[in-house]
Each structure stands twice: as structure tokens, then as C-alpha cells.
């Protein structure tokens, strides 16, 4: 018998927070034709600083995982059940990094590995990651994501 997504979260020791509010004049998500576009989310606790100076790759990995938990909270709030997620489609990470930082992909693995742990094969996704000279509120990472959902 396959475990529900909520049961997998419990087994992972993850308790979802209340979905965070948007930081400006936009919505947390939009659903169009079975695709749910989740607005960019950063890590909880609002850490500030750049990868490569204020933070290590390993700390960035943790921040990306925390951003993933924020995204899961939005999904849960919007859909009522994470079991309505059919697939993680696309992830785009923006890493606030020094010009010499080269491990953006390893940072975003924190988000990607969480999606696989939570959704199993449905969590495998396409992705891209970019270095940014700055991000809102000086966050170390912001992640945009697209999900196929049961409407």
C-alpha cells in the first residue's frame, strides 16, 4: 500500500508551516489548465546574505530545502491535500551568490531532493539554476516552481 504524501512528510519529520504571504503585490499561486505556478519562495527564518561569502554550499542546500517546505505549505493550503499533486514539473532556482561561487546546482539540490523524498518518482523534475547579483530582502535563494495538479 502506497503512503500518502502527508504520511511521507510525517515519516520525514516535516511539519508544514502556515503558507507565507506574498512579499509584494502578487498571489502565492495561479492554476491554469492543471498546472500550478507557485510564486518564488525563499527559506523560512529570512536568512540574509550571499553564498560564497556569508554562507557555504551546505548551508545553501539547507536553505533550498527550507524554501521547498515553504512551497509545500503553499501547495497544501491551495489544494487541501498534497496527494492532489500529480507531478513536480519545473523548478527554477535563483541563488544570491558571489561572482566566484560555482556550486549553484549543489545548493538547489536541497529543494530537488526534498521533492523526490516527498513525492517519490512524481518529484523528479526539470530545472534550471541561476546565480543572481542580488535577491529581494537579500535572501540567499528563491525558488520558482510549477506543478501538475488534480483540479
CA distances from 33 to 36, 87, 144, 147 (A): 8, 14, 18, 11
Query: What pTM value is reported for the model?
Result: 0.97
List 106's β-bridge partners, or say none.
Answer: none
The domain ranges of the chain are 5-149
pLDDT digits (tens, 9 = 90+) for 121-142: 999 999 999 999 999 999 999 9
d(CA 95, CA 88): 20
* Segment-wise mean pLDDT, segments of 10 residues, the chain, 151 residues: 90 96 94 98 95 98 98 98 98 98 98 98 98 96 98 90
Instruction: Provide the CATH topology of domain 5-149.
Output: 60s Ribosomal Protein L30; Chain: A; (3.30.1330)
Residue 139: burial class (beta carbons within 10 Å; 0-12, 13-18, 19+): buried
Amino acid at each position: 500500500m502506497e503512503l500518502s504524501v502527508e504520511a511521507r512528510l510525517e515519516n520525514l519529520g516535516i511539519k508544514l508551516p502556515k503558507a507565507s504571504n506574498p512579499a509584494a503585490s502578487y498571489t502565492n499561486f495561479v492554476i491554469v489548465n492543471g498546472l500550478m505556478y507557485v510564486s518564488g519562495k525563499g527559506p523560512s527564518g529570512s536568512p540574509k546574505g550571499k553564498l560564497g561569502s556569508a554562507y557555504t554550499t551546505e548551508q545553501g542546500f539547507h536553505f533550498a530545502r527550507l524554501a521547498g517546505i515553504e512551497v509545500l505549505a503553499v501547495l497544501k493550503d491551495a489544494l487541501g491535500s498534497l496527494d492532489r499533486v500529480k507531478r513536480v514539473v519545473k523548478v527554477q532556482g535563483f541563488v544570491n551568490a558571489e561572482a566566484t561561487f560555482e556550486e549553484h546546482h549543489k545548493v538547489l539540490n536541497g529543494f530537488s531532493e526534498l521533492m523526490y523524498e516527498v513525492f517519490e518518482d512524481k518529484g523528479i523534475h526539470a530545472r534550471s539554476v541561476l546565480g543572481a547579483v542580488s535577491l529581494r530582502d537579500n535572501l540567499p535563494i528563491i525558488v520558482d516552481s510549477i506543478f501538475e495538479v488534480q483540479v
